[in-house]
């Protein structure tokens, strides 16, 4: 796995022990939970952008 520069979600709070982190590498966006750093989910940037647009539009909830 490439060396990622993880960024913590701004909505995760300041505790640092229960947050979502995101890293981009090339055409891939990778997500992980800070308390399970070995478990990651990866997707293409375009798919992630479509997912975020859906979240912002209220399609998931």
Residue from 34, 30, 29 nearest 12 by CA: 34
Domain boundaries, the chain: 7-56
**What pLDDT sits at residue 14?**
64
pLDDT one-digit tens code per residue, 12-48: 766 656 788 999 999 999 999 888 888 999 999 999 9
Burial (CB count within 10 angstroms: exposed 0-12, middle 13-18, buried 19+), residue 33: middle
Q: Degrees (nearest 5) of the Cα angle 51, 17, 1?
A: 60
Identify the CA nearest to 41 among candidates 25, 29, 53, 50.
29
Q: What is the pTM of this model?
A: 0.74
């Amino acid at each position: 796995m490439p060396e990622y520069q993880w960024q913590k979600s701004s909505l995760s709070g300041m505790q640092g022990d229960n947050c979502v982190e995101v890293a981009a590498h090339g055409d891939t966006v990778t997500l992980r939970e800070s308390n399970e750093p070995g478990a990651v989910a990866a997707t293409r940037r375009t798919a992630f952008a479509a997912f975020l647009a859906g979240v912002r539009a209220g399609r998931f909830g």
